[in-house]
Structure 1
Amino acid sequence: MDAASNYATPAAGTPENRLHFLDYWRIIRMRGLLIFVVFALVVGTTAVLTHWMEPTFMSTVRMDVQKDVGDISSLMPQQQQGGFDPYFVMTQFEILQSKEVLYKVIDDLKLVQRWDQKYRLGQSKFKAYQVLIKLIDPRQVRNTSIIEINVYSKDKAEAAEIANKIAEVYKASRDELRLRLVDQGLKTLREKLTEHHGFVEVAKSNVNQILKDKGIILTMDTPGMIGTLDIDTMRAMEQENIQLATTYRRKQTRFDELKKLPADQLRNALNYVAPDELLTKRLDELSLAEKEFISKSKDLGPLNPEYARMKDVIAKIETQIEARVVGLMKGLETDLLADKATLAERTQKLEEVKKQSREIAESRRVYQLAGQELERQQRLRETVENKIKVEELDRDIKRTTAVRVTDFAEPAVKPASPKVVLNIALGAFVGLLLGVGLAFFIEYLDTSVKTIDDVERALSAPVLAVIPQNVGALLDEGMDSPHAEAYRVLRTNVLFTRKDEHANAITVVSGGAGEGKSTTVLNLATIFAQNGNKVLLVDSDLRRPSLHKRLGLSNSLGLTNYLLGQNKLEEVIQTTSLPNLNFLPSGRLPSSALGILNSPQMKEFIKEAKRRYDFVFFDAPPIMGVSDATVLASGADLAILVIQYRKYPQSLAIRSRQMVEKVGGRLIGVVLNNINLASDASYYYYSGYHYHSNNNADEPGANGKPPGKVDRRKPVAPATDAPTIKPKY
């Protein structure tokens, strides 16, 4: 148990449990037959179904679909819309599959009557539409405005007929839709035109009423304009009024200043302001009189008559001057009052003119507003009239480029489906994928022992040897058998694993029947005997003994006879063709001796056999079937567990190990049996190297057959001079 525990420690803790690429390849090789069967079934089924399928034909009509643009330029530039519009094309896809188009196709081709029996329509147009919608496949040619309509049918002529009819109906529906929309638009425009006629008449009546109410007179030179005062005349009147006011204020100021002057200054200032010839003359006379008076008054006395006369002359002149000054001042005052009256009159007249002008302007504004409304209504009416004329002309322009069939549909030469090559290729791909998937799924569900890692991880026990598939008895195959090397490896590992040299009683057990334990114990005993050890092989599978058949010996006397005391040990042990190998068959098992292996006689037999032989090997029954195997595992020194590759679940192997340990047996390791080296390359280095170690690989054997192909039906004597092959490990 120590060796197994020490060996299991690193294996149990290894993190490398993930699948490698080679593990996937191993699974595919192991399940190759399943993958091939699934692949063949799927491909075969696909081929048969493809052959049975009724051929379907496809006809294609191609159309260049544009927006509604006339063959010549329209009178309305705003409707000339160019450029590729993907949304427009996608919209036409839906229109092509609409009931508006397809119902017309159904009616024209009488598809309800033609398909009634075939598709069981029950004279239903909607069901015919549902069938037809499944038969058409509109597509757009990339980066173009061309639409392909693919129609599928069992009848090649019918497919072409339906495709061409869809194109025809679609083109007619586009024309009908355009004319219907234009007619509806013209009807609305004519209604609007009648309405605008009424608006114009109302506006005219309003203008005439304003002219009448306001008493407006239109000028002849510019009809529609109201006669008003000339702006220059008004400005001249205003300018003249301003000048009058300025002159009046200047005269008023000068007159007021003159009134403030004394008399002597007034006469001089007055003569300057308003020159007067008489006043000037009197002033000159006064100046001369005063000069004369001054010059003569020095010589004349006041009593002189001349003196008195000059005084009187001066006084008279001054009186005349004073009278003239008063007259002039009065004249100035009168002139000032006249200017004031004139200014007042002119101001009043100007205000009246302004008032009249404002009234005329207000009348003009009202008239202009009414006139503008009349003009607006007339322009609107004219616009509607022009629009109607343009639409009527545009309606008559043909749209042959809106929908143009570039390629008409023709009956197909060969069916579009089924596509034999494509279907079989897809079937092959699906079959391969399904086969591989099923293989991996079964591998996932398979809990049996598949790898050495499974054994070491589940059982915590080392793998002593890996035995290839289709191994027979080495006594039949000979010393040069390619299978012998695997058992030499097993012998070497057994010798190195046992720590006690006296532990020479070895039992070989298995969890279930048919795992190869009998072949393993026979060949292991043969290898030990070939290496000079004295070996006793005991067939302790009392219920289903088989070793005597492989050795060609009798089973009339054996272990049961010895344990029951009927015969001595020498009488029941038989020799084989190999000198160092003796055989003890099971013997007949009476019904009264079912528990004989658990008797004291069995224990004594084991001791006696160990004393007489170098090694004693026991072939035990399946450990999960009867209790004999656990009895032998507890009585023997060592136990080897044989597990057949991919046969029983891992839980059976785990339970077998637990039962051996439970009875005190020492499990030294596991033999992984029946490995298919051809399909599982991961075991090549365990038992494949020795296949190429035969020095006479190209020479025939003694029996005329290549090495490894010995006739298993005839016993072969051991080759005494055979070359010694060293163990691999």
Structure 2
Amino acid sequence: MQDPNPNQSEVSLHAIDYWQVLKNRYGVILLTFLLVFLTAAVITQVMPEKYESKALVEVRPINYSNVSSRVREVSGPQMTRQFFNTQFEVIVANENLSRAIELIALDNKWSKSQAETLLQLRSIIDTRQRRGTDLIEISVRYKNKAEAKIIAQAVVDAYEAGREAREKEQRVSTINSLDKQLQSRKDRVQELRSNLMNIADRVGVVYIEDERGGSNIRGQANLIDLAQTQLYEVEREKEELSFQITQLLSLEDEQLIKFVSDLPDTGMKGVYDEYMSSKRSLESLKASGLGAKHPEVRMLERNISELKKDLESRTSGVRELLQHRLTLIEGRVNKMKSVVDSQGQDERIRAREVQEFNNARREYKSALEFRNELELKVENEKASLMVPPNTITIHERPVEGMSPVSPNVVLNLGLGAVVGLIFGVGIAFFLEFLDTSVKSLEDVERYLNVPVLAVVPKDVGVLHKQGGMSPDAEAYRILRTNIEFNRKNPEDNSITVVSGGAGEGKSTTMVNLAYICAQGGYTTLMIDADLRRPRLHTFFDINNSVGLTNYLTTDLLLEDVILQTPIDNLYFMPSGVLPADAAGILNSRRMSELILDVKQRFDLVLVDSPPILGVSDASVLASEVDLTMIVVQHRKLPRQMLMRVKQAVENVGGQVIGVVLNNVDVRSDSQYQYYTSYYTYYAPTTGEEVLPDGGTVKKPAASASRPAAQAPASNDEDLY
């Protein structure tokens, strides 16, 4: 039978379901936890003790010098995000570690090759940045605390020596580069000086240069140059005056006064400041509520008027003065132009030669200045080479560790416990996911579409050997009642008890049900139709030599094979001699007649059968009787197998009345605790038996003469 809702997903587990899985699988969880925990303990025990020695250093980037065409620029790695990661790799690089090994001859101490020593040394060194700082921690963990300190100090010394060597190398490289550029500039200066002297001779200029690089020029070229310079300065002054006069003409009133007062050498700045201060005072007096006729207001107004007239008068004078100066300068410009123009064509040619001389002189001076700068920089670099590098500062030197830092017993055991618990819970839920067996009443009803008639707890024994007062008997009373009310036809009183596989408690369930029905006043017949491995006779210590097979194969009467048990109303038909063809004997007319006969004689007929998935006997019996009851052991067979059990019964025309969920561990499954918690509470406390209709009967006297009670047998003891 397939799931009635194949497209519907599994119902999500709630918190109580998770707890139920943990309770059901606590053995797996505990075993996994112990294995992982003990493994962590053993590993911790066998791990060698290690001591830690660490140093704390501050590292700064090395500056790299590059000389451009005019000035030296300093560039290089800054304190970027990758800087510390780079230093971590440099510290554990082969070059630095090899230097450390050489410092303390570590390969000789360990009696290993250079490569092996490098590998082991790298494995015991750890570098990290101290949180929130620019400091680097270099730590070494080793089994010998004295050697750990020596190794840590060697690594730090090697790292410091390496950085100093790189910085010194960089400085030397910079000096060499500057020397090359300086020599090139000296050659260039010499070349330009020779060119300048040649031009001076051709022009007729005497060029004299002192020791400091200063120069003195004598000759006509110098006078022409001076005239041209003066002409340029006068023209520039003319342009400035023209601009000022243009501004004066475009401004009016207050703007004009302010502009003129800002001009240098006008003497109006103080008067203008007094004028503006008086205006602000007047505004303040008016704002305070004084009227226009108030003496102070009128005095300030007169003062402002006089100051304004004074400023306007001065402004007019400044304008006239600037205009006069402009006229004079224009005259000077015209005169100087006429002087320059009067030199004629020869003078123009000579001026060009002088201009050529001036250009050569400027180029020579520029080259000379750059050469002097380079000489100064070379001297500075050579002086800095004598200063010790300052790219690394050691704040903490390595010291011997007082106690071992590894293994951390508490941490390892704690992690072992946590990991073991997580693995255990994970394995438990994984096994629960893989487990497709029946776990609840809902599983039975969902997949088999039949009711659960009873839930039988784990370790329920044979009731008639326990005196009949066991609280476990209540489960079978519930089973008896549910069978009574689930029969659609009151005449359907023959029931075969089947199971999917061996060991599901089918025989014990049938014996206990027969006993409870007999106690309830039903005349009950048990037929052991398991002709493969019969077992019912062992519950009553009855001989199994004559029984069902003898009746089916001979002319024996029914009375010859039905035996009275020590229990009132309970009768038993043994299996008899085991035949070669069990299915053939059961699938016969005489078997059908037997079932019809005993149905007339007894109130209830219970037929035991072999596992239905193992042999065909159970299917034959299911077709002969009225009803079939399936016994399912809790958490044993997969759901698909149980669906095949039901399908096997229905394929031969049998009718499944319901399922008995057997061997349920009610202590671990809380949902069944509620279901079975009333067994003890409502169990009979006297010698009376509760009937389905509410009446009571006395316990049979024969029960007193039954064999002494034996130890309860687990339902799993049934072979079939």
Residue in 1 aligned with 2:701? none
2:40 corresponds to 1:46: yes
Residue in 1 aligned with 2:396? 407
Per-residue CA deviations over 1:297-330 (Å, capped at 9, x if unaligned) read: xxxxxxxxxxxxxxxxxxxxxxxxxxxxxxxxxx
Q: Quick one: which of 538, 546, 549 aligns to 2:538?
A: 549
SS in structure 2 opposite 1:224? strand
Gaps of 5+ in 1: 70-75, 118-122, 236-346, 698-709, 717-729
Residue in 2 aligned with 1:64? 58
Residue in 1 aligned with 2:180? 191
The whole-number CA distance in structure 1 between the counterparts of 2:178 and 2:35 is 73
2:362 corresponds to 1:372: yes
Q: Say whether the 8 Å CA contact 1:576–1:583 is kept in structure 2.
A: yes
Flag the 1:64–1:231 CA change in 2: closer, same or farther, 3 A: closer
Flag the 1:80–1:635 CA change in 2: closer, same or farther, 3 A: closer
Q: Quick one: which of 16, 22, 31 aligns to 1:22?
A: 16
Gaps of 5+ in 2: 64-70, 232-336, 687-703, 711-720
Per-residue CA deviations over 1:205-254 (Å, capped at 9, x if unaligned) read: 1111111112236799993373336859x99xxxxxxxxxxxxxxxxxxx
Residue in 2 aligned with 1:238? none
Residue in 2 aligned with 1:223? 216
Letter of the aligned partner of 2:102 in structure 1?
D
Q: Say whether the 8 Å CA contact 2:77–2:83 is kept in structure 1.
A: no
Q: Quick one: which of 501, 506, 512 aligns to 1:512?
A: 501
Flag the 1:198–1:627 CA change in 2: closer, same or farther, 3 A: closer
Q: Quick one: which of 368, 384, 390 aligns to 1:394?
A: 384
Q: Say whether the 8 Å CA contact 1:12–1:460 is kept in structure 2.
A: no
2:99 corresponds to 1:104: yes
Q: Say whether the 8 Å CA contact 1:536–1:617 is kept in structure 2.
A: yes
Moved more, 169-178 or 375-384: 169-178
The whole-number CA distance in structure 2 between the counterparts of 1:550 and 1:515 is 17
The whole-number CA distance in structure 1 between the counterparts of 2:338 and 2:637 is 136
The whole-number CA distance in structure 1 between the counterparts of 2:343 and 2:8 is 122
The whole-number CA distance in structure 2 between the counterparts of 1:418 and 1:714 is 63
Deviation for aligned residue 1:138? 1.0
Moved more, 530-539 or 680-689: 680-689
Equivalence map 1:204-283=2 (5 Å)? 204-216=193-205, 223-224=216-217, 226-228=221-223
Q: Say whether the 8 Å CA contact 2:35–2:420 is kept in structure 1.
A: yes
Deviation for aligned residue 1:572? 3.0
Residue in 1 aligned with 2:574? 585
Letter of the aligned partner of 1:638 in structure 2?
L
Letter of the aligned partner of 2:512 in structure 1?
N
Moved more, 37-46 or 586-595: 586-595
Deviation for aligned residue 1:564? 3.6
SS in structure 2 opposite 1:398? coil
Moved more, 548-557 or 157-166: 548-557
TM-score normalised by L of structure 1: 0.72
SS in structure 2 opposite 1:223? strand
Moved more, 202-211 or 354-363: 354-363
Moved more, 195-204 or 572-581: 572-581
The whole-number CA distance in structure 2 between the counterparts of 1:202 and 1:584 is 137
Residue in 2 aligned with 1:459? 448
The whole-number CA distance in structure 2 between the counterparts of 1:431 and 1:110 is 44
Moved more, 146-155 or 504-513: 146-155
Per-residue CA deviations over 1:359-391 (Å, capped at 9, x if unaligned) read: 343222111111111111110111011101221
Residue in 1 aligned with 2:631? 642
Flag the 1:409–1:695 CA change in 2: closer, same or farther, 3 A: farther
SS in structure 1 opposite 2:662? strand
Q: Quick one: which of 654, 666, 688 aligns to 2:643?
A: 654
Deviation for aligned residue 1:429? 1.9
SS in structure 1 opposite 2:515? helix
Residue in 1 aligned with 2:245? none
Letter of the aligned partner of 1:97 in structure 2?
V
Q: Say whether the 8 Å CA contact 2:582–2:617 is kept in structure 1.
A: no
Equivalence map 1:487-636=2 (5 Å)? 487-565=476-554, 567-589=556-578, 591=580, 595-636=584-625
Per-residue CA deviations over 1:556-606 (Å, capped at 9, x if unaligned) read: 432233334464333332233431222222233355877332232222221
Q: Say whether the 8 Å CA contact 1:217–1:227 is kept in structure 2.
A: no
Q: Say whether the 8 Å CA contact 2:549–2:578 is kept in structure 1.
A: yes
Q: Say whether the 8 Å CA contact 2:469–2:685 is kept in structure 1.
A: no
CA RMSD of aligned residues (A): 3.4
2:345 corresponds to 1:355: yes
Equivalence map 1:289-304=2 (5 Å)? none
The whole-number CA distance in structure 2 between the counterparts of 1:11 and 1:479 is 43
The whole-number CA distance in structure 1 between the counterparts of 2:644 and 2:364 is 113
Flag the 1:349–1:103 CA change in 2: closer, same or farther, 3 A: closer
Residue in 1 aligned with 2:435? 446
The whole-number CA distance in structure 2 between the counterparts of 1:127 and 1:166 is 17
Q: Quick one: which of 76, 83, 88 aligns to 2:83?
A: 88
Q: Quick one: which of 475, 482, 488 aligns to 1:486?
A: 475
The whole-number CA distance in structure 1 between the counterparts of 2:707 and 2:153 is 81
Q: How many residues align?
A: 572
Deviation for aligned residue 1:116? 3.7
Q: Say whether the 8 Å CA contact 2:583–2:620 is kept in structure 1.
A: no
Deviation for aligned residue 1:136? 0.9
Letter of the aligned partner of 1:37 in structure 2?
L
The whole-number CA distance in structure 2 between the counterparts of 1:219 and 1:596 is 146
Residue in 2 aligned with 1:385? 375
Deviation for aligned residue 1:478? 4.1
Deviation for aligned residue 1:508? 0.7
Per-residue CA deviations over 1:473-511 (Å, capped at 9, x if unaligned) read: 222334442222222222222122211111111111112
Flag the 1:16–1:99 CA change in 2: closer, same or farther, 3 A: closer
Letter of the aligned partner of 1:386 in structure 2?
L
SS in structure 2 opposite 1:609? helix
SS in structure 2 opposite 1:595? helix
The whole-number CA distance in structure 2 between the counterparts of 1:58 and 1:523 is 72
Letter of the aligned partner of 1:57 in structure 2?
Y
Q: Say whether the 8 Å CA contact 1:141–1:147 is kept in structure 2.
A: yes
Flag the 1:64–1:570 CA change in 2: closer, same or farther, 3 A: same
Letter of the aligned partner of 2:423 in structure 1?
L
Moved more, 531-540 or 375-384: 531-540
SS in structure 2 opposite 1:107? helix
SS in structure 2 opposite 1:393? helix
Q: Quick one: which of 418, 427, 432 aligns to 1:429?
A: 418
Percent identity of paired positions between Structure 1 and Structure 2 = 40
The whole-number CA distance in structure 1 between the counterparts of 2:3 and 2:21 is 28
Q: Say whether the 8 Å CA contact 1:57–1:154 is kept in structure 2.
A: yes
